[in-house]
Amino acid sequence: MTFRIRKAFLFPLGILAIEIVALLISCIVFDEPLAKTMILAFMILPVIVLFVECLFRRTNIGESQIETRKFLRSKTLNIADITSVETILVKKRAFVTLCAGDDFLIISNAYSKFPLMVSRLLEHIPGQAISDETKQMAEEPPRKSTDIISCWLAVALMGFILYAQLKMRH
């Protein structure tokens, strides 16, 4: 079964990336001060990298292995090799760490269908490898929406800045 990052997060993140690129282009076209253009150029990089990473991230949970694909790379763990499954909760953010010797995978609740993902994971992994915190979290996985709200707020703010930039030139 394959899991992806939530579209509810990807959509505003993509819009934000487009808005920042549009604002940068408008700064170049309107010959804005170099400092303003440079700040936008530095803002673009992390937003686009985050968007591309999230867009390409997929985790496939099979009967015998777990594979996570990211942009230009992937990592696979054999389920039989997993020695521990730990969970860290930070507010409504959950991180599940799968350890197999020196190898590990970290899965967060940024994935869509995270509760199903956790239950699918845990049904394949031996019970002695699963921490009590993970078992407890699996009973009621946290649902996180603050990243989506924050992203939409950034979209609104960047949209307003872009509107003001274009309005000033007319």
Q: For 21-64, how does the pLDDT look when each residue is reduced to its tens digit (9 = 90+)?
A: 999 999 899 888 899 889 888 989 999 999 999 999 999 998 88
Question: For residue 97, what are the contacts with CB-CB under 8 A and spacing of at least 6?
Answer: 84, 85, 86, 87, 88, 104, 105, 106
**Percentage with pLDDT > 70 across the chain:** 99
What is the chain's mean pLDDT, rounded? 90
Strand order through the sheet with 73-78: 2-4, 58-61, 65-70, 73-78
Structure confidence by residue, pLDDT tens digits, 99-131 = 998 899 999 888 999 989 998 988 888 888 899
Cα(106)–Cα(85) distance, rounded to whole angstroms? 10
Report, as an integer, the average pLDDT of 133-156: 88
Cα(166)–Cα(36) distance, rounded to whole angstroms? 15
- Please tell me whether the overall predicted TM-score, pTM, comes out greater than 0.85 for this model: no
At residue 82, does pLDDT exceed 80?
yes
Question: For residue 77, what are the contacts with CB-CB under 8 A and spacing of at least 6?
Answer: 65, 66, 67, 98, 100, 103, 104, 105
Q: Which of 85, 81, 68 is nearest to 133 (CA)?
A: 85
Find the largest Cα–Cα distance for the chain.
67
Cα(155)–Cα(17) distance, rounded to whole angstroms? 9
The pLDDT score that the predictor gives to residue 167 is: 86
**Domain extent listing, the chain:** 2-168
